[in-house]
A and B are shown apart, each in its own frame.
Chain A
C-alpha cells in the first residue's frame, strides 16, 4: 500500500515537473527559448561584410501585426530581410521587429512602457498617450539626433508637420505624413435623382427638398424609404447639417468651444430634429453603433443618401455600391457636396490634420536615438519609400497609365499590410514623389468605382480646413474627461434629435448642463487658458 502510494505520488509530481519543464522551455515548434522574436536573418545568398568591425547596434522596431490570414511572420519575412540588407548592414545596425497586435496597440504599449520592455521605436495613433508619456518623463529627446542624422527626414516631413511632436521646445515624437486629408463626404442615389428629374443638389435647402421628394415619391419603389441614413455617430456622418449653420468664429473660439458650444451648432441639431420628425432620417440611428444598420439600409436600396467617410460608397467593404448593384443593377451612389453655410455660402468642412502615426523612443532606449533617426531618415529616400510601398514591378505592382497599381501577391513576397503601411512608418497613405500622381493612384483601390474617386476626393477637400487646435497638447481635462464627454455628446444628439420638436430646446439645454457638469466646463476653461499661453490671443 505504502509503496503504491509513493509510486503514485512520485508519478504525479514527475509528470508535473516534466510538463512544467517543457512548458517553461521550448514552445511547440522546437524554437529555442528566447524573449525576443526571431531576428530577420540575412540569409539571402549575399555575403555582406560590415564596414566596421564594431559590434552591430541593435535596433528594435515595433511592427503592427494584423493577423492577416496567410501572412508571412511580420518580424521575419521578405521585407524585413530587405530592410536589413539595405539599411541594417550598411550601417552596422541589426534591425529587429517586435510584433504588436493591431487591436491592442495602446494597451500593449502601456504595458511595455510600464515594465520597461518597450522596443526602441514605438508607434501609436493616440496623441493623448504620447503626451502622457512625455509628461511622466518616459520619452527620449530626439532633437539632437534629428539635427545630426535626419536631414532627409526633416525635408520630407517638413517643420510644420514635425511641430506636432514638439513638447517644451524639444522634439519627442516623429510624426508621419498623412497624404489624404479628405475626411467626410456625402453620397446620393444618382438613379433616384434621374428618375425624379432632379438636379444634383448644391445647397442645403436644395438637399432638403430632394430628401422630401425621395420620401414622398419613392423613386426606388421600395417598402421603406430612408432619405438620409444616419448612424449614432451624428457629428461625423451628418457633419454637413451642422456646418450649414456655423457662424464664423476666431481660431481660438473654434478650438475651445469644441463643436457643441460653437454658435450655430445647436441649430444644426435642431435642423436634424426637424428632419427626424418629418421621417427623413433613419428612425433608429442611436442603435446603429457600428454602421451595420446603415449598411443594410443602403444595400437593400432603402437609403436615398448618407454621409460618412469621403470614400465610403466606393469601398470594397462594406461594398455599398458593389452590393447595391447586385440587388439593383442600375443603382449607384455618387459623391455630392450640397451643404452650404448660410453665412459664407461656402461648402465648409473639417479635414484631417496632416499627421499620421506617431513614432516615439522610450527613455530606456535613449542610447539608440541615433540609430532610430538614421533608420527613419533612410526611409525618407523616395526610392526606398517606393519600394516598400509598391515592391517590385511585375510582382507587386504594374504600371497603368503611368501610375503604379498594386496587385495581390501571395506567398513569400506578400505584403502583410496594404502598401506595407506597417513598415513605412513615416507616411500614411500612398506616397508618390509626383504630387499630381499621388491622388490618382488611389483610385485603383476601388475596383468598379474608380470613376468616382476623383470626384469624391475633390469634393471632400473643397472649402476644407483643419481644426486650428489640431496639434495642441491635450489639456489635463481633455485627457481626463475626453472619452466621457465624447459619449455624452453622442447621448445629447441621440436624445435631442429624437425628441419632439417642441421639446428639443428643453432636452438639449438640460443635457448640455449635464455635459458641463461631467467635465465639459473644465475642458472649456482649460482649453482657453492653454490657447492664451501657447498662441497668444
Chain B
C-alpha cells in the first residue's frame, strides 16, 4: 500500500517541493558566505554570486586576530548555555502547574502573564530596576530580565496539558508526588518541545544584544554580537566622519558585514543537528505505561 504508485508520486512531489524550498533558502546564504570571502572591489563590482571572487580571508583574519573577539565568543557561549538552562528550568516550573486545569488561581496567574506580553514599563524603568538591583555591568543583567518568555511558557503549558491524563493519574494513585511525576514522566515525554524551546531561548539570547548596549559598559562583557555590530556600524563611518569632520580611516571592507552574519549562524548550525534527534517521530512511544 505504501509502496504503491500513488504513494511514490506523492513522495516525488514532496521531494521536489522541498528541493526548491531548500534552494531558495540556501542560495542567499551561499551569497553571504561568498561575500564574506571576497575582495571589496569584486563585491562592489557585483561580480560575486554564489562563489567567492578574489578569495581573501581578511575579514575573518581581522576578527580572529582580535583576542577580545575570541574571549567574547567564549563568554557568549557560556552566557547562552547558562541562560538557556535557567530559562528552561523556570519555564518548566511555571508551565507545569499552570497546565493543571483544576489548580486554584490558575486563571489569575495566566492573566498576569498575558498582561506582561503587552504592557511593560519601558526602557527607563527597566534600567532603574537593573541599577537598583546592583546588576548594572554584571552578567546577571543579561540573564535575569529575560528569564521567562511568556510566549514560550504558554506553548509549553499547552503541550503539557495535552499529555494523556491517565499517565499522571496512575502515578498519583501509586503515591508519587508532582515533582516525581514532572521529572520522571512528563519531561521525558516532552523532549521534542523542550528541545524546541531551548533552541528558541538559546538563539534568542545568542542574537540579542540591545540589552548589552544599555546595561554593559565593561567591554569584557560584550557579547559577540555586540562586538560585531560595532564593527559593522563603524563601516558606516563615511557618514559619521562627515558629521564628525574627521578624516575617514582605513576601514574594513564590505565583506566584514557578511562575515559577521556567518558568525551568528555557524554556531547554531553546529548545535542544531544534535537537537534534531529529538524530533524523530515516535519518541513518545515506549513511554511509561500504567
| 0 or 1 for each of A1-14: is its CB under 8 Å from B? (1 = yes) | 11011001100100
In the complex, what residue of chain B is closest to A429 when comparing beta carbons?
B245
A74 and B230 CA atoms in complex are apart in Å by 14
In the complex, what residue of chain B is closest to A100 when comparing beta carbons?
B217
Known: A67-B227, A115-B128, A125-B244. A316 touches B46 (CB 8 A): no
Do A104 and B213 have beta carbons less than 8 Å apart? yes
Q: What is the distance, in angstroms, from A359's C-beta to the closest C-beta of chain B?
A: 14
Do B243 and A125 have beta carbons less than 8 Å apart? yes
Q: Does B175 contact A (CB under 8 A)?
A: yes
* Interface-central residue, B65, B143, B179, by most chain A CB under 10 Å: B179
**Which of B214, B245, B251 is the one whose CB lies under 8 Å from A180?**
B245
**Which of B69, B131, B219, B234 is the one whose CB lies under 8 Å from A117?**
B131
A356 and B240 CA atoms in complex are apart in Å by 12
Q: Which positions 127-169 of chain A face chain B at CB distance < 8 Å?
A: none
**Which of A5, A317, A323, A430 is the one whose CB lies under 8 Å from B248?**
A317
> What is the number of contacts between chain A and chain B, taking CB atoms within 8 Å?
187
Q: What is the distance, in angstroms, from B145's C-beta to the closest C-beta of chain A?
A: 12
Q: What is the distance, in angstroms, from B253's C-beta to the closest C-beta of chain A?
A: 7
Q: What is the distance, in angstroms, from B277's C-beta to the closest C-beta of chain A?
A: 26
Q: Which positions 388-417 of chain A face chain B at CB distance < 8 Å?
A: 408
A residues near B254, Cβ cutoff 8 Å: 318
**Which of B139, B177, B251 is the one whose CB lies under 8 Å from A23?**
B139
Do B138 and A101 have beta carbons less than 8 Å apart? no
A352 and B242 CA atoms in complex are apart in Å by 10
Known: A28-B221, A125-B244, A429-B246. A23 touches B140 (CB 8 A): yes
Q: Which positions 24-58 of chain A face chain B at CB distance < 8 Å?
A: 24-25, 27-29, 31, 33-35, 37
**Which of B46, B144, B177, B238 is the one whose CB lies under 8 Å from A300?**
B46
Do A316 and B251 have beta carbons less than 8 Å apart? yes
Q: Does A478 contact B (CB under 8 A)?
A: no
B residues near A115, Cβ cutoff 8 Å: 124, 127-128, 131
B residues near A332, Cβ cutoff 8 Å: none
In the complex, what residue of chain B is closest to A447 when comparing beta carbons?
B250
Do A323 and B140 have beta carbons less than 8 Å apart? no
Q: Does B89 contact A (CB under 8 A)?
A: yes
**Which of B183, B230, B247, B251 is the one whose CB lies under 8 Å from A103?**
B230
B residues near A319, Cβ cutoff 8 Å: 40-41, 44
A427 and B63 CA atoms in complex are apart in Å by 31
| 0 or 1 for each of B205-244: is its CB under 8 Å from A? (1 = yes) | 0000000011001111110001101110111111010111
Known: A67-B231, A69-B65. A111 touches B127 (CB 8 A): yes
In the complex, what residue of chain B is closest to A180 when comparing beta carbons?
B245
In the complex, what residue of chain B is closest to A233 when comparing beta carbons?
B239
Known: A28-B139, A319-B41. A1 touches B127 (CB 8 A): no
Q: Does B94 contact A (CB under 8 A)?
A: no
B residues near A296, Cβ cutoff 8 Å: 44-46
Do B250 and A316 have beta carbons less than 8 Å apart? yes
In the complex, what residue of chain A is closest to B234 when comparing beta carbons?
A66
Q: Which positions 302-329 of chain A face chain B at CB distance < 8 Å?
A: 309, 311-312, 315-319, 322-323, 326-327
Interface on chain A toward B: helix, strand, loop, or mixed SS? mixed
B residues near A8, Cβ cutoff 8 Å: 179, 183
Do B250 and A408 have beta carbons less than 8 Å apart? yes
Known: A37-B217, A429-B246. A323 touches B44 (CB 8 A): yes
B residues near A29, Cβ cutoff 8 Å: 220-221
In the complex, what residue of chain A is closest to B220 when comparing beta carbons?
A29
Q: Does A445 contact B (CB under 8 A)?
A: yes
Chain A: interface residue total (CB-CB under 8 A): 77
A residues near B242, Cβ cutoff 8 Å: 309
Q: Which positions 54-104 of chain B face chain A at CB distance < 8 Å?
A: 62-63, 65-66, 68-69, 75, 78, 82, 86, 89
Q: Does A98 contact B (CB under 8 A)?
A: yes
Q: What is the distance, in angstroms, from B55's C-beta to the closest C-beta of chain A?
A: 15
**Which of B44, B246, B248 is the one whose CB lies under 8 Å from A295?**
B44
Q: Does B123 contact A (CB under 8 A)?
A: yes
Do B138 and A33 have beta carbons less than 8 Å apart? yes
**Which of B137, B244, B247 is the one whose CB lies under 8 Å from A445?**
B247
Do B220 and A299 have beta carbons less than 8 Å apart? no
A445 and B243 CA atoms in complex are apart in Å by 17
Q: Does B249 contact A (CB under 8 A)?
A: yes
A446 and B252 CA atoms in complex are apart in Å by 15
Do B246 and A419 have beta carbons less than 8 Å apart? yes
A residues near B229, Cβ cutoff 8 Å: 67, 103
Q: Does A179 contact B (CB under 8 A)?
A: yes
Q: Does A418 contact B (CB under 8 A)?
A: yes
Residues of A within 8 A of B (CB): 1-2, 4-5, 8-9, 12, 16, 19-20, 22-25, 27-29, 31, 33-35, 37, 65-70, 73-74, 98-104, 107-108, 111, 114-115, 117, 125, 178-181, 290, 295-296, 299-300, 309, 311-312, 315-319, 322-323, 326-327, 352, 356-357, 408, 418-419, 421, 428-430, 442, 445
What would be 28 A-B contacts, judged by CB atoms less than 8 Å apart? A5-B177, A8-B179, A23-B143, A25-B138, A28-B139, A37-B218, A67-B226, A67-B234, A69-B63, A69-B66, A69-B69, A69-B252, A74-B219, A99-B219, A102-B240, A104-B213, A114-B127, A180-B245, A295-B44, A300-B46, A315-B248, A317-B237, A317-B248, A317-B253, A319-B44, A352-B245, A430-B247, A442-B247
Interface pairs A-B: 8 shortest CB-CB: A67-B230, A445-B247, A323-B41, A428-B245, A23-B140, A69-B66, A418-B249, A103-B233
- Beyond the given pairs A24-B134, A28-B221, 5 more chain A to chain B contacts, judged by CB atoms under 8 angstroms and listed by A's residue number, are A5-B177, A37-B217, A69-B66, A299-B44, A327-B45
